[in-house]
Amino acid sequence: MQLRNQVEWALHCCTLLAALPPGRYLPTKDLAEFHDVPKEYLSKALQGLSQDGIVESALGPSGGYRLARSPSDVTFLDVVEAVEGKASSFVCTEIRRNGPCSPKGADAKKCFAKPCGVAQVMWSADRVWRARLAEVTLADVTQTLAESFPQNVIDNTIEWINERI
């Protein structure tokens, strides 16, 4: 099991978008150049973010993407689910109902009233995973970055952005 590459890209892109001056857009082309990733494929991740209302898009010159909400209102979970989907990582195919020993009739009704015990455990793990991701927002990671990066590096990036919007 491995998350898509797009998840990493999307998170980093959102972090960058969080640094945009209000009201401005940054196009896919620049987001791709900034991270040195294929532009056309990155756009698919951004489409997912757009469809889930994480970012807003604008067409034409000086168009592009911007965050649709405040960075403190966008959690990691929002971004991950926009790219990976909201489905649980574990899918129960109910194999307990297969095979020669599977209960039939009245017994089946009793045994299968509750979800499969194996699936319950796996789903609970999935929930705590998502809960952890929901605890962290883009604002948090921006803050962490601001604390560990020298000011001149940050200024450099801001300037790079301003040259393009």
- Our CB check for a second copy shows the closer of 24 and 96 to be 96
- Pairwise CA distance, residues 105 & 133, whole Å: 42
The C-alpha angle 142, 143, 148, rounded to 5 degrees, equals 100
Q: Which of 81, 48, 78 is nearest to 65 (CA)?
A: 48
47 scored as a contact of DNA (CB under 7 A): yes
Per CB under 7 A, contacts with DNA among 57-86 are 57-65
Contact between 17 and 55 (Cβ < 8 Å): yes
60 binds, among DNA, a second copy, none (CB under 5 to 8 A by kind): DNA
Contact between 20 and 66 (Cβ < 8 Å): yes
65 scored as a contact of a second copy (CB under 8 A): no
90 binds, among a second copy, DNA, none (CB under 5 to 8 A by kind): a second copy
- Name the one range near a second copy by CB under 8 A: 21-29, 44-52, 58-66, 98-106: 98-106
- Pairwise CA distance, residues 89 & 124, whole Å: 11
Q: Which of 86, 85, 66 is nearest to 138 (CA)?
A: 66
- Our CB check for DNA shows the closer of 99 and 105 to be 99
User: Where along the sequence are the contacts to DNA (CB under 7 A)?
Assistant: 1-2, 4-6, 25, 27-29, 37-38, 40-41, 43-44, 46-47, 50-51, 57-65
Q: Which residues bind a second copy (CB under 8 A)?
A: 1-5, 7-9, 11-12, 15, 33-37, 76, 84, 87, 89-93, 95-96, 98-101, 103, 107, 110-111, 113-114, 117-119, 121-122, 124-126, 128-133, 136, 141, 144-145, 148-150, 152-153, 156-157, 160
